[in-house]
Amino acid sequence: MRIAYVDCFSGISGDMFLGALIDAGLPLDVLRGELAKLALPEAFSLQVSEVQKGALRACLLKVDVPHLHQHEEHDSTHDHVHEHDHAHPNEHEHKNEYEHTHAHQRSWREIRALIQASALDEGVKLTSLAIFSRLAAAEGRVHGVPAEEVHFHEVGAVDSIVDIVGAAVGLRYLGIERLYASALPMGSGTVQSQHGLLPLPAPATLELLAEAHAPTVPSTARVELVTPTGAAILAALATFEQPAMTVTARGVGAGQRELPWPNILRLIVGEGAGGDGGHVALETNIDDMNPQLFAPVMERLFAAGALDVYFAPIYMKKNRPATLLGVIARAGDEAVLARLLLEETSTLGVRVHPVSRYEAGRETRTVETEFGPLKVKLKVLDGRVLQAAPEYEDCLRAAQERGVSPARVLAAAAAAGQNLVTK
């Protein structure tokens, strides 16, 4: 299993993490192409450069929003900032987007709808939503409002969307199935916000770290080292421990502030020790949900990376009939699939436990039959074809086109497939 370890030597912000992903092998044109699928109404551009942080090189990412500069020229005397949009030294030091009071604000509900309606891969959507959901919930708890009512400053929302969706794109492109992270250095001091002077770590950051039970280490820095966006990425996706791994790649992302030490984030990519890293089984018992809704839930689970999804009738306390919903998945997809189950079903909890899985090889071949070419799935073990099974949907289509029984087509495909079985 491919894993990655986030070495938060100097903290973490969204743009530092995305810069590290780019440095580790995420092509900039791929990132731009995927972000274009969001169809954001605001124009923005990504600027990537190699910089020196102390004696070390790193990849610096900047998100440029052209119309921002117009606001700076005409409205630069205001000090307006949502708690989410602190003047993060790592993430937004080069911008003054927080300095105008009457810009459009985008709610978490709007951001969620934007991501869901996009042409992004389903897995990228779910990972992005899992991160943003953590961020919105933390902001809501800090301000005592429901997460649905949390609003993000227009330009700050663009930055957050790019950083968060970009993180999901990068992890998927690099094939990283499980993310780990070091302890986080906590800067101290204060930050100016819409709500006045606030202590560091920022309230939303502290909420996220508390929820994730993230380990921290003291730092002498009197600046913000861990931003809400960076904290949300780790809270949603990372396990806070250093894994045993074989290193195959690395990426170094740069923070924008100059510090007495190299202001960098290192992403160490490799293969997890002990084989493929295993699989997990996710299970939940449901006794209060319309059974018609199980079919779309199954479709979304498969689209998000589930290897198998199954339902079984069970009886719960007081002999209530219920349904056991089970999912087999790669360990790296655990968090996204668990969140999908919590969001798309009526369950209040999901059980997760590791499982071992042995697999035969599989191939798809096309065989000629009296009903035309049909697909069969081959089971292969040690180079031998042990079984050839007709693809049902392919046979059903041929049966409908020919006006014959599906059973006849299935039998013809099975007979032709037997010629491929090793004698």
**Residue numbers of the domain that contains 163:** 2-272
Lowest mean pLDDT among 118-127, 137-146, 189-198: 189-198
Residue 312: which CATH number? Answer: 3.30.70.1380
User: For 18-46, b where at least 16 C-beta lie within 10 A, e where not — what string?
Assistant: bbbbbbbbbeeeebeebbebbebeeebeb
Q: Per-residue pLDDT tens for 247-264?
A: 999 999 999 999 999 999
Task: For the chain, give the percent of residues with pLDDT over 70.
Answer: 88
Residue ending a domain, among 355, 383, 406, is: 355
pLDDT score for 194: 66
Domain shared by 173 and 26, yes or no? yes
Query: What's the whole-number mean pLDDT along residues 126-152?
Result: 88
- pLDDT at residue 191, as a whole number: 77
Computed on alpha carbons and rounded to an integer, the radius of gyration of the chain in Å comes to: 25
pLDDT given at position 88: 42
| Statement to judge: residues 234 and 379 lie in one domain | no
Spatial separation of the C-alpha atoms in residues 248 and 188, rounded to whole Å = 35
Residues 49 and 102 in one domain: yes
| CATH code, domain carrying 398 | 3.10.20.300
Question: Do the strands 361-369 and 372-381 form a parallel or antiparallel pair, or are they unpaired?
Answer: antiparallel
Give pLDDT, residue 100: 35
Assign 101 a pLDDT band (cuts: 50, 70, 90): very low
Say if residue 294 is in the same domain as residue 164: no
**pLDDT in the model for residue 333:** 83
pLDDT computed for residue 274 by the predictor:
55
Question: Are 35 and 100 in the same domain?
Answer: yes
Regarding whether 190 and 99 lie in a shared domain, the answer is yes
Mean pLDDT over each residue of the chain, to the nearest integer: 86
Q: Are residues 197 and 109 part of one domain?
A: yes
Note whether 350 and 373 are same-domain residues. no
- Indicate the number of domains in the chain: 3
Q: Is the pLDDT of residue 76 over 60?
A: no
Mean pLDDT for the stretch of residues 84-113: 53
pLDDT-derived band of residue 117, with 50, 70 and 90 as boundaries? Answer: very high
Same structural domain for residues 15 and 110? yes
Residues 94 and 196 both lie in one domain? yes
- The helix-helix angle for 28-36 and 14-23 (nearest 10°) equals 130
pLDDT of 336 strictly over 90: no
- The answer, yes or no, to whether residue 277 has pLDDT greater than 80, is no
Same domain, 229 and 165: yes
- Residue 95: predicted pLDDT: 37
Rounded mean pLDDT of 8-34?
Answer: 96
Measure the CA–CA gap between 89 and 72, rounded to whole angstroms. Answer: 18
State yes or no: pLDDT of 89 exceeds 80: no
pLDDT at 151: 81
- Assess whether pLDDT exceeds 90 at residue 86: no
Q: Assess whether 245 and 311 both reside in one domain.
A: no
Alpha helices of 265-371 — where are they, by DSSP H? Answer: 294-303, 334-344
Find the DSSP H helices in 292-371: 294-303, 334-344
Report percent pLDDT > 90 for the chain: 65
Tell which residue, 167, 14, 156, 165, has the closest CA to residue 83.
156
Distance of CA 16 to the CA centre of its chain: 16
Residue 94 or 254, more confident = 254
- What is the per-residue pLDDT across 32-44, written as a single tens digit (0 to 9) for each? 999 999 999 888 9
Q: What is the largest CA-CA distance in the chain?
A: 82
- Return d(Cα 252, Cα 268) in angstroms, integer: 9
Euclidean distance between CA atoms 56 and 360, whole angstroms: 47
Whole-angstrom distance, CA of residue 72 vs CA of residue 157: 17
For residues 245 and 99, the model is more confident at 245
Residue 279 is predicted with a pLDDT of 87
Query: Does residue 71 carry a pLDDT above 50?
Result: no
Provide DSSP, 141-165: HHHTS-GGG-EEEHHHHHHHHHHHH
| Cβ contact 216:184 at 8 Å | yes
- Lowest average pLDDT, out of 109-113, 125-129, 210-214, 274-278, goes to 274-278
Q: Which of 154, 115, 144 is nearest to 131 (CA)?
A: 115
Q: Which of 326, 355, 384 is the last residue of a domain?
A: 355
| Of the residues 208, 237, 272, the one at which a domain ends | 272
Q: What is the pTM of this model?
A: 0.68
Residue 413, pLDDT > 90, answer yes
Among 185-199, 212-226, 294-308, 403-417, which stretch is predicted with the lowest mean pLDDT?
185-199
CA 1 to chain centre: 17
pLDDT digits (tens, 9 = 90+) for 216-246: 999 999 999 999 999 999 999 999 999 999 9
Mean pLDDT of 88-110: 50
